[in-house]
Amino acid sequence: MDGLSQFLGAIAAIGLSGQIVVVLWATLLGIVVGMIPGLTATLGVALVTTLTFTMEPGTAILVLVCVYIGAIYGGGRTAILLNIPGTPANAASALDGFPLAKAGRAGEAMAIATTGSFLGSVVGMVGLALVAPWLAEFALDFSSFEFFWLAVFGIVLCGQLTALDDALKGWIAGFAGLLIAMVGQESVHAYGRFSYGIPDLEAGLGLLPVLVGAFGCAEVFSVMRQEATRLVHGEVHGVMAAAASSLRHARTWLRSGVIGTFMGVVPGVGEDMGAWVSYAAARRASKRRDLFGNGSTEGLLAAETGNNAAVPGALIPVLTLAIPGSAPAAVLLAAMVIHGLRPGPLIMIQQPDFFYSVVAMVFWASVAMLVMGLALTRPLLLVLRIRREWLMGMIFVLCAVGSFAIAGRLFDVWVMIGFGLLGFLMRETGFPIAPMILGVVLGPILDNNLRRSLALTQGDLLPFVTRPISAVIAILVLLMILLSLPAVRRRIAGRREDDLPERGERHG
Spatial distance between the Cα atoms of 71 and 67, rounded to a whole number of angstroms = 6
pLDDT at residue 226 in the model: 67
pLDDT score, position 507: 46
Judge whether 29 lies within some domain.
yes
**SS3 state of residue 467:** coil
Q: Please give the Cα distance from 68 to 74 (Å, whole number).
A: 10
Calculated CA dihedral for residues 126, 375, 70, 15, nearest 10 degrees: -60
CA distance 1 to 218: 47
Nearest to 267 by CA among 156, 393, 377, 429: 156
Q: Decide: 213 and 403 in contact? Cβ < 8 Å.
A: yes
Determine the 3-state secondary structure of 193 from DSSP. Answer: strand
The answer to whether position 506 is within a domain reads no
471 assigned to some structural domain: no
pLDDT of residue 237: 59
Q: In angstroms, how far is CA 384 from the centroid of its own chain? A: 24
Q: Is 78 helix (H, G, I), strand (E, B) or coil?
A: helix
CB 432 within 8 A of CB 168: no
Q: Phi and psi (nearest 5°) for 192? A: -75, 130
Residue 344 DSSP symbol: S
pLDDT at 311: 92
On whether the CB atoms of residues 187 and 447 are closer than 8 A, the answer is yes
Give 267's contacts (C-beta < 8 A, 6+ positions apart): 150, 153, 154, 155, 157, 158, 317, 323, 324, 325, 438, 442
Distance CA 230, CA 236 (A): 17
Q: Are 472 and 364 in contact (CB under 8 A)?
A: no
Q: Give pLDDT, residue 438.
A: 79
Supply the range of the domain harboring residue 75.
2-466
Name which of 186, 221, 223, 219 is nearest 202 in CA terms.
186
Q: How many domains does the chain have?
A: 1
Tally of CB atoms within 10 A around 417: 17
Name the β-bridge partners of 152: none
The three-class DSSP label of residue 386 is coil
Q: What is the pLDDT of residue 80?
A: 83
* Contact in structure between 250 and 297 (CB atoms under 8 Å): no
Classify residue 217: in a domain, yes or no: yes
**Cα 40 to chain centroid, rounded:** 10
- Rounded Cα distance, 186 and 192, in Å: 6
Residue 342: other Cβ atoms inside 10 A: 12
Residues 6+ apart with CB under 8 A from 402: 46, 47, 50, 208, 212
Report the 10 Å Cβ neighbour count for 401.
13
Written as tens digits, the pLDDT of the chain (508 aa) is 566 777 788 888 888 777 899 999 999 999 988 887 667 788 788 888 878 888 888 899 999 999 999 999 988 887 887 777 777 788 888 888 888 887 877 788 888 889 999 999 999 999 998 888 888 888 777 888 888 888 888 888 777 776 767 788 888 998 899 999 899 888 777 788 888 888 888 888 887 788 778 877 887 787 777 666 555 555 565 677 777 877 888 888 899 999 999 888 877 667 877 888 888 888 888 887 778 888 888 889 999 999 999 999 999 988 888 888 787 888 888 888 888 888 888 887 878 888 889 999 999 999 999 998 888 777 766 666 667 667 777 778 877 877 787 677 889 889 989 999 998 999 888 888 878 887 887 888 888 888 889 888 888 889 888 888 889 989 988 988 888 777 777 777 676 555 545 544 444 4
H helices present in 376-485, as ranges: 388-407, 410-429, 434-457, 463-466, 468-484
CA 212, CA 230: separation in Å to the nearest integer?
Answer: 27
Give the integer Cα–Cα distance in Å for 324 and 255: 23
pLDDT of residue 374: 85
**In angstroms, rounded to a whole number, what is the distance separating the alpha carbons of residues 204 and 440?**
11
- CA 181/CA 193 separation, integer angstroms: 10
| CA-CA-CA-CA dihedral for 78, 82, 87, 89, to nearest 10 | 90
Is 329 part of any domain? yes
- The answer to whether the Cα torsion of 339, 335, 311, 375 is positive or negative is positive
**Cα dihedral sign for 373, 374, 376, 377?**
positive
Tell me the pTM.
0.77
How many residues in total does the chain contain?
508
Instruction: Identify whether 321 is part of a domain.
Output: yes
Can you say whether residue 37 is alpha, beta or left, with left for phi > 0 and alpha for psi between -120 and 50 degrees?
beta
Strand partners, 192: 185
Cα 25 to Cα 69: distance, rounded to the nearest angstrom? 13
Distance CA 328, CA 273 (A): 14
Question: Which pLDDT value is given to residue 508?
Answer: 45
Q: Looking at the domain assignment, is residue 487 inside a domain? A: no
Q: Residue 156's pLDDT is what? A: 85
482 in a domain, yes or no?
no
Report whether 26 contacts 55 (CB < 8 A).
no
Our CA angle for 209, 261, 275, nearest 5°, is 75
Amino acid letter, residue 246: S
Closest CA to 97 of 76, 118, 80: 80
Alpha-carbon Rg of the chain, whole angstroms?
A: 23
